[in-house]
């Protein structure tokens, strides 16, 4: 079974959605496209999808959009699939399947090692579905700092204490999260752990300081009762989206992090990047904790 702490790939996203699964099973054309994708015949599948663009059935056109997105993710055409899905989500912000596919695309792109280079011609040819005008998604620029004391990031100069001195705990070390701290989409960031109450925060915008300071005090503690009542199990992630701000928290045992960003549709890349780094770091800490327990 899929681990709830992991990001689903495109095929899993479509398989796990009952409506998508039923529509594909009830349509010979969609089922044929899925068969071609599973067999790795992506160009033939894309050609078949083009014939569905003029279909008057709205759900069929939407499934075709999802399947073309799956093809682009599996063939590493990330720029096109992100632009298409963001344009679609601007008109349909509640489309959970499209959001999940966008998360899968970003996660797959960030996980490339080494990155796959896709020729510009293939980027053009692999996008038969145009849902709206292209949307530019620039990659975050990491500033180049000069050497010496003047080169220290302004993030390093600000930290807070929640309980004991944050510097006493390796669990709240901010170094593994430098790419998030330098991400233009990040407004404020906090790490905290439960065992000794340590936390560290870094604030880009002062108006976000109060919000990020509250996260260790209220999340996930304030939701424990409601989640237990729903038999939802452990809290792994929360995301509260407002008109101009999104508050996200991630949880793994005693280790937690919180992130304040702008509107959700402008912050998905930053949130997914944070979750990827958090999952990696929390796994490392869990392994280190196991080694210490064994040694003792």
Q: The whole model's pTM is what? A: 0.45
Alpha carbon distances (Å) from 187 to 120, 191, 236, 270: 33, 14, 22, 10
Side by side, which strands form the sheet with 255-261?
199-203, 186-193, 255-261, 246-252, 237-241
List of residues 6+ apart from 183 with CB closer than 8 A: 140, 270, 273
Alpha helices, H only, the chain: 10-16, 18-26, 28-38, 42-50, 58-74, 78-91, 96-110, 120-125, 178-181, 209-218, 224-229, 268-295
* Model pLDDT for residues 43-63, shown as the tens digit of each residue: 888 888 877 766 666 788 888
CATH top-level class of 149-295: alpha beta
Crossing angle for the helix pair 96-110 and 268-295, to the nearest 10 degrees: 60
Ranges of CATH 3.30.450.30 domains, the chain: 149-295
* Whole-number pLDDT of residue 113: 58
- Three-class SS state of 141: coil
What does the pLDDT profile of the chain (296 residues) look like in tens digits?
A: 445 557 788 888 888 888 888 888 888 888 888 888 888 888 888 888 877 766 666 788 888 889 999 999 999 888 888 988 998 898 888 889 989 999 898 988 888 755 555 555 554 444 444 444 344 434 444 444 444 444 333 333 333 333 333 333 445 788 889 989 988 889 999 998 887 778 889 998 888 888 888 888 887 777 777 777 776 667 788 888 888 899 999 998 888 999 999 998 888 889 999 999 999 988 888 888 765 555 54
Name the phi and psi angles at 129, rounded to 5: -100, 120
The CB density around residue 205, as the number of other CB atoms within 10 Å, is 13
Owner of token pair 């793994």: 252
What is the dihedral sign for C-alpha 206, 184, 269, 251? negative
User: Hey, what are 177's tokens?
Assistant: 């999260």
């Amino acid at each position: 079974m899929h681990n709830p702490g992991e990001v689903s790939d495109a095929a899993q996203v479509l398989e796990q959605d009952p409506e998508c699964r039923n529509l594909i099973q009830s349509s010979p054309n969609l089922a044929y496209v899925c068969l071609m994708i599973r067999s790795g015949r992506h160009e033939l599948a894309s050609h078949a999808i083009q014939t569905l663009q003029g279909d008057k059935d709205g759900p069929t056109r939407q499934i075709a959009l999802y399947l073309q997105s799956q093809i682009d993710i599996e063939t590493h055409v990330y720029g096109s699939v992100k632009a298409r899905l963001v344009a679609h989500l601007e008109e349909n912000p509640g489309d959970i399947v499209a959001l999940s596919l966008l998360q899968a695309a970003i996660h797959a792109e960030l996980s490339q090692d080494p990155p796959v280079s896709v020729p510009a011609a293939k980027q053009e040819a692999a996008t038969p579905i145009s849902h709206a005008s292209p949307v530019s998604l620039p990659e975050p620029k990491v500033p180049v700092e000069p050497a010496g004391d003047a080169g220290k990031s302004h993030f390093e100069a600000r930290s807070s204490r929640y309980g004991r001195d944050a510097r006493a705990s390796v669990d709240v070390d901010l170094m593994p999260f430098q790419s998030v701290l330098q991400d233009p989409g990040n407004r404020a960031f906090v790490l905290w752990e439960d065992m000794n109450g340590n936390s560290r925060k870094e604030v880009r915008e002062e108006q976000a300081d109060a919000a990020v300071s509250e996260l260790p005090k209220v999340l996930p503690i304030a939701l424990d009762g409601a989640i237990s009542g729903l038999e939802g199990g452990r809290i792994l992630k929360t995301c509260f989206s407002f008109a101009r701000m999104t508050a996200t928290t991630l949880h793994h045992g005693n280790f937690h992090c919180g992130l304040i960003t702008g509107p959700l549709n402008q912050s998905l890349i930053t949130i997914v990047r944070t979750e990827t780094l958090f999952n990696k770091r929390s796994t490392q800490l869990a392994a280190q904790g196991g080694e210490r327990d064994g040694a003792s």
